[in-house]
Structure 1
Amino acid sequence: MPPKRKSNVLEPSVDLTADESQQEAATQARPAMKKARTSDVAESSSTGAKKGKGKAKVEDNAPNNWWEVKLPGEDERGVLVFDDCNEIRCKIRLLQKEPGFKVTHWLQAIGNINNNSYQRFMKATGPTGGASNGTYYSAYVYFEKVRIATGKKKTAKRTRNEAEYKAGMPLEDRKTVWIMGR
């Protein structure tokens, strides 16, 4: 009767009645086991470890996962947003290039965002195009948590926006705002 599992076939069978030379020949004849594939992306994002030059060093007290990070104002009034919509769309496109990335799983993880809402946000243009969309806020919170979890520094544009918008960037598309005057 043939073995039911592949692992049973690959394991060497030791014959206690055979002499040592026959046992050595049997163990040398077996095929080499394949090494399991691992992804650098999943490993670095889950542990917070970074490779290469130019990356910030991870602090020892930094959380391992992005969902463990708590941002100021996350529970009560909401997180202040300091990246514009174009910056968030650029970060999303970079995230999509990572191997094994699935948009639907990511949308579920960042706040159960509807795919139609995501598509409308990605099609919008301009620094405030799509600012009232829920994808913008949820993606910003995700990227901010990932930045903190990995120990990266704020960009120059981000620090300029913090200085200019003390109360955070407005979460409304300026193209659709009416201004009434005399």
Structure 2
Amino acid sequence: MPPKRKSDALDDSVVDALKDGEEQKPEAKARPTKKTRVSKAANASASTSNPDNTEKTGVSPAASASAPKSWRDIVLEIDADGSVPVYDDCNEIRRKIRLLQKESDFKITHWLKEIGNINSNSFQRFMKAKGPTGGASNGTYYAAYVFFEKKRIFEGKKKTPTRTRNESQHPNGFELREHRYVWVPPR
């Protein structure tokens, strides 16, 4: 027959503690934690032949701990005005976005949210614009450039020849405004 009262099921020490005003709960059974399996041969060879384990990955454990896990962890250089200098024109960014859209598991709404919560209407206006400065003042241009630059660094890709040429011609980056709407005074 099961006990009728809680005190009948508890130890005497717990009952005494409860009577004294101390609130204690009986210890719940702790679940055993799962251990990761590691082969003994791999541990023995790694510990004897290479103590810091650089042979397997090519990177020391200290360097691998600081290695970025995704493109979001990459930190870009910032100018004096607090923004990243942009070295790809609008046509190049639109080309990269179109290539990204061809990937099978790519969803534009998720991507726009990831790169800075960009409005889909703003994105559509940027994609419909024409020319190397068409859409330069649009927020999609800057956010997409930062995404592609972080992704390039994360994947370890080199800069394109066009990119290096743009860096030499525009040391502070492209202006983030569309030249079509800039007023030029008459002479």
**Structure-1-length-normalised TM-score:** 0.65
- Counterpart in the other structure of 1:71: 76
Say which one has the larger Rg.
Answer: 2
Does 1:162 pair with 2:167?
A: yes
The alpha carbon displacement at 1:100 in A equals: 1.0
- Counterpart in the other structure of 2:42: none
Candidates 124, 133, 137, aligned match of 2:129: 124
Aligned runs of 1:65-144 on 2, under 5 Å? 65-73=70-78, 77-144=82-149
The alpha carbon displacement at 1:107 in A equals: 0.1
Amino acid at match of 2:96: K
- Counterpart in the other structure of 1:4: none
Cα distance in 2 for partners of 1:181, 1:152 equals 45
Cα distance in 2 for partners of 1:99, 1:155 equals 25
- Counterpart in the other structure of 1:153: 158
Change beyond 3 A, Cα 1:173–1:64: same
Unaligned runs of 5+ in 1: 1-58
- Percent identity, aligned pairs only? 60
Amino acid at match of 1:109: E
Q: Number of matched residues? A: 124
Cα distance in 2 for partners of 1:109, 1:145 equals 13
Cα distance in 2 for partners of 1:78, 1:104 equals 24
Unaligned runs of 5+ in 2: 1-57
Amino acid at match of 1:137: Y
Amino acid at match of 2:104: P
RMSD: 1.7
Deviation digits for residues 8-60 of structure 1, max 9, x if unmatched? xxxxxxxxxxxxxxxxxxxxxxxxxxxxxxxxxxxxxxxxxxxxxxxxxxx95
The alpha carbon displacement at 1:178 in A equals: 0.9
The alpha carbon displacement at 1:75 in A equals: 10
The alpha carbon displacement at 1:63 in A equals: 2.1
**Structure-2-length-normalised TM-score:** 0.63
